[in-house]
Structure 1
Amino acid sequence: MSQEGGKILMIDDDEDVLLAAKMLLKKQNHQVLIEKNPNKIPFLLHNDTYDVILLDMNFSKDITSGKEGFYWLEQILGHEPNAVVIMITAFGDVEMAVKALKMGATDFVLKPWQNEKLIATINTAIKLKHSYLEVDKLKKAKEMLEEQISKPFGDIIGDSPAIKDVFTIIDKVAKTDANVLILGENGTGKELIARAIHQRSLRKDKSFVSVDMGAITETLFESELFGHKKGAFTDAREDRPGRFELANGGTLFLDEIGNLSMSLQSKLLSALQSREVTRVGANQALAVDIRLICATNMPLQKMVQEGTFRQDLLYRINTVELQVPPLSERMDDIPLLAKHYLNYYSKKYHKNVSTIAQEAMDKLKRYPWPGNIRELQHAIERAVIMTDSASLQESDFLFSRSMNNMTSTNDTLNLDEVEKTAIVKALSMHGGNISKAADELGLTRASLYRRMEKYGL
C-alpha cells in the first residue's frame, strides 16, 4: 500500500475503465474522483486541486487521433501550469506519446495497463507533484527571506547598560529552542530583538517569518497562518502555504500577540501543542518544526486575570520572558541611534548630511520619546528630507513646541499643531502604547499610525 495517498482525478468515457481504476487506486490509499464527461474538466479544476490527473486521449467524438486529449491537456495546463497529467490511450504510438510530453504531459500509459505499472507511474507522479509544491514553498520562503534581509536596520544599536542586559539574555537563549516572549512598548525594537535571537541561533540558515497578529482578521487567520488549498474559499485561486509552513525549520515571530481574540488564541494553541497545521480546505495535517518568538506591548498577566488571554497559551509562549527597555531608559544610546539613522537616510535620499549639531543632539537627549526608537527614526528621516544644510540643526526638529504645549493647546490655533500635540500627549500618557493612545484619541490603530507618520512621531 502507498505510504502517502494522493488526490487523483480520472477522466475517461469508458465507465468500466473508470470503475476498475478507482477500485485499484483506492486500495493504494488514494482518493479518486472519476468523470466520464471531459466538458466538466473546467468545473472540476475550478473547485478543487489534484495531485495527479489521468486523462484519456480519445473520447467518443474522436476515437484514434488523440486531438480531444491534446485539447483538454492544453486546457488543464492553461489553468494550472504545474498540473501533473498522465495521458491514457488504447491506440498509443511513439509520435503521440512524444507530442503529449512536449505539450507538458508528465507521462503516458496504454490501455489495457498492467496494475503494478499504473500504480508505480501514479506514485512517481504524486512525488513529482509534491516536489513542485515544495519548490513553490521554497520560492515563497526565499522571497520572504530576501524581503527580511532588505530591511534597512538589521541589528540592534546601543551601548547603554539597559540594552547590554538585553544582549546578555539574547546570548543565553539564542542557542536553545526555548520559546521567547518579548515585552516592551511600541517602537522599542522588539522585532529586531527577535531577529537577533534567530541570527544567533542554530536555525540562522533557515527562514525568519514575521507575522503581525494585530493586522490579521478573524476570517483570514487560519489561511494566513496555516495556508489553504485552491478553491477552499472564494479568493483561494491557488494552493498557498501558511506562515507556519514557511517558517518550518526556522523561526516564527508572532508580533502583537496580545491582540488575538480568545477563539483565535485557541486555534493557535492547538497548532503549537500538536506541532501540526492543516491547510484550509485540506484533510491532511502537516508536521512543522519551528522556534516560536512572540512579542506584545500589552500586559498579558493582567489579561489572564481579566479572562481575555488564555493562561495555557501564555505558559506555552513564554518559556523565557525578555523585557525591552523604552528609549527613555537608554538615553545614552540616542547619539549612536541618531547617527545610524542619519547615515542611512542621507544615503537613501541622496543628501549630503553628515553631522548633527551639538545643540540639536542635546535637544534629542532632552525629549522624552513617547514613541521610542521608531519616533526617533521618523524624526531623523524628516529632518534629513527637509534640511538644506550639511549638518542637522536644533531647528530641524519640531517636536519641542508640541512638548511645551502639552499642558495647554491655547497658544496655537493651527489644527496640525493641535492634533500633533494631542497625539504626543496621549502617547506620553500611555507610555507609548499605540492601542491605548488610539482609544484615548478616538482613533483606530491604523489612523493613529498614519498621523504619527505624518508628524514624524
Structure 2
Amino acid sequence: MSKILIVEDEDAIRRVLKKVLSEENEKFVIDEAADGVDAVAKIKINNYDLVICDIKMPKKDGIEVLNFIKKFNQEINVIMISGHGDLKTAVEAMRTGAFDYIEKPPDLNNLLTSVRGALKAKVVKSGIKKNKSSTKKGKYEIVGESKKISDLKDLIVKIAPTNAKVLILGPNGSGKELVARQIHLNSLRSDGPFIEVNCAAIPSELIESELFGHLKGSFTSAHKDRTGKFEAANNGTLFLDEIGDMSLSAQSKVLRAIQENKIQKVGSEKDIYVDTRVIAATNKNVKKLIESNIFREDLYHRISVIELNVPKLDDRKEDIPDLISFFINLISAQYDKKNITINEKAIKKLSSFDWPGNVRELRNVVERLLILTESDQITDKDIVKFSGK
C-alpha cells in the first residue's frame, strides 16, 4: 500500500491529480498539502513513498520542499510539477535529486508512467545501499579509480534510478557509450532494451525514418512498414550518440518526442505513445553549435538535465595500469593467450605516452601487443617495436 503526498496550491489541479491516482490504484493512500509549509509538516509525521510537488507555491516553494526531503529521508522519491517558464528550475530539481518532472498541464499518461517508476524505485532503494559496490558492471565496466573517474561513477549511481535525461560529453574514444550503458544497467529500465543510434553515421534524409519508423510507401525505398528506434526502445533506454550531428529537422521531432512521449512514423499522422529514457552524447561543444544555429537551444535544455563529462585518457593517466590489466585479461581470452603478462617497464612506457585516441587507442595498442609479442610477457622492447607510438 503506497502512501503519496500531493503538494499543489491550485485546488483544481490537486483534485485532478488525486482522482487520477485513485483510479490508477484504489489502495493508494493520498494526502494533500496546499503549500510548502504544510507539506513539510506532513512529511515529518508520515512515512510517504512518493511526493508530487509543484515548484511555484506560496510560503515555501517546491525546491525548498525537495531540499528538505533529501535531507530528511532520501528514500522518498519526488516528482516535480513545473509550469512552462520553470524549465531551468525543474532541471535544478533533477540535479538536486528529484525522480522526474512533469509540465503543466500534466499529461496523464506521462504522470502515471512517472508515478509507477517512482514507486518501483522506492522498492529498489529500500533493498539496496547506494554505493559503488552495489552497481552492476557486467561487460561494460568503467575501469579506473582516479578522482575524475570515481566522481563519474558516483554520479552514475545517483542518477541511474531516476528518469533524468542525460547528456554525456567527452572526446572520441573516451568511453561515452560505456557511461550510457552503465546508467541503463543500473536503472529501473535495465530489463528493457538499450537501443543505440549513431546520429553521425545515418544520412540526414534517413534519420527521421531511423528514429521514428515509417509506413510502407511513405517514400521511394519504403517497401514495408518499419519500427523506429524510439518505439524499439519503449520501456528502455535510447542512446543518441553524436547528437551534435543531427539535422535541425530531426531535432525538432526529437524535441516533441521527449516533451510529449509521442512519435509519428514517417507517412503517418497517428501518434504512438512511447516510454523511453533518452541519453545523448557528443564530442562537440553544444553551446557553440547553438550560437551557430546548428543545434536547437530548447532541445539542449531538454537533454542536458544532467551533464556528465568523460575525461580524456591524458587527464587520468593513473588509470592506465588498471586499463592495461583489464584489456590484457579481456583480449587474451579472445585469442586464447591466457598466460600473457606485462612487465613494469612496459606499463611505465605505455603510461608515459600521450593518447589522443583515448581509451579506444590504448585498447587497440594492447590488442596489437598481445597478437605480435613473441613471448609470454610483453616487455618495454615490445612497446618500442610494436606499439606504433
TM range (shorter): 0.5 to 0.7
Deviation at 1:160?
1.2
Paired residues for 1:174-253 under 5 Å: 174-253=160-239
Question: Counterpart of 2:325?
Answer: 339
Residues 353-402 of structure 1: CA deviation (Å, up to 9, x unaligned): 42111111011110111111000010011111111211112233359997
What is the Cα deviation at residue 326 of structure 1? 1.1
SS in 2 for 1:316: helix
What's the CA shift string for 1:50-92, capped at 9, x where partnerless?
A: xxxxxxxxxxxxxxxxxxxxxxxxxxxxxxxxxxxxxxxxxxx
- For the residues of structure 2 that align with 1:163 and 1:378, how far apart are their CA atoms? 21
Matched with 1:394 is: 380
Cα deviation per residue 1:109-136 (whole Å; 9 max; x = unaligned)?
A: xxxxxxxxxxxxxxxxxxxxxxxxxxxx
1:351-430 equivalences in 2 (<5 Å)? 351-398=337-384
2:369·2:386 contact (CA, 8 Å) conserved in 1?
A: no
Does the 8 Å contact 1:226/1:241 carry over to 2? yes
Structure 2 CA distance for partners of 1:279 and 1:285, relative to 1, 3 Å: same
Aligned-residue CA RMSD in angstroms?
Answer: 2.0
* Aligned match of 1:83: none
Give distance in 2, aligned partners of 1:262 and 1:236. 23
**Structure showing greater relative contact order (alpha-carbon pairs closer than 8 Å, 6 or more residues apart):** 2
Separation in 1, partners of 2:205, 2:385: 40
In the alignment, which residue of structure 1 is the partner of 2:275? 289
CA separation in 1, counterparts of 2:190 and 2:248? 32
Residues 353 and 389 of structure 1 are in contact (CA less than 8 Å); yes or no, is this contact kept in structure 2?
no
Structure 1 unaligned blocks of 5 or more: 1-151, 404-457
Measure the CA separation in 1 of the matches of 2:325 and 2:250. 42
Judging changes above 3 Å, is the alpha-carbon distance between structure 1 residues 165 and 401 closer, same or farther for their aligned structure 2 residues? Answer: closer
Shift of 1:352: 4.3
Distance 2:153 2:359 in 1: 17
The one-letter amino acid paired with 2:235 is G
Letter in 1 for 2:242: E
Alignment match, 2:243? 257
Taking structure 2 as the reference length, what is the TM-score of the superposition?
0.62
Deviation of the 1:284 alpha carbon: 1.4
User: 4+ runs of 1 displaced by more than 4 Å?
Assistant: 398-403
Tell me, in whole angstroms, the C-alpha distance in 2 between the residues paired with 1:383 and 1:268. Answer: 43
1:288-320 superposed Cα distances (whole Å, 9 cap, x missing partner): 111111111101112212222111110010001
Contact 1:214 1:257 in 2 (8 A): yes
Specify the SS of the correspondent of 1:322.
strand
In 1: Cα distance, 2:307 partner to 2:317 partner: 23
1:232 CA drift (Å): 2.7
Q: What's the offset of the Cα at 1:340?
A: 1.1
Give the percent of matched residue pairs that are identical in Structure 1 and Structure 2.
47
Distance 2:268 2:385 in 1: 53
Shift in CA distance, 219/399, structure 1 to aligned 2, threshold 3 Å: farther
- Report the more deviating stretch, 385-394 or 189-198: 385-394
Larger-gyration structure (1/2): 1
Alpha-carbon separation, structure 1, partners of 2:261 and 2:190 = 20
Give me the whole-angstrom Cα distance separating, in 1, the residues matched to 2:384 and 2:303. Answer: 41
Match of 2:47 in 1: none
- Cα distance in 2 for residues equivalent to 1:183 and 1:275: 24
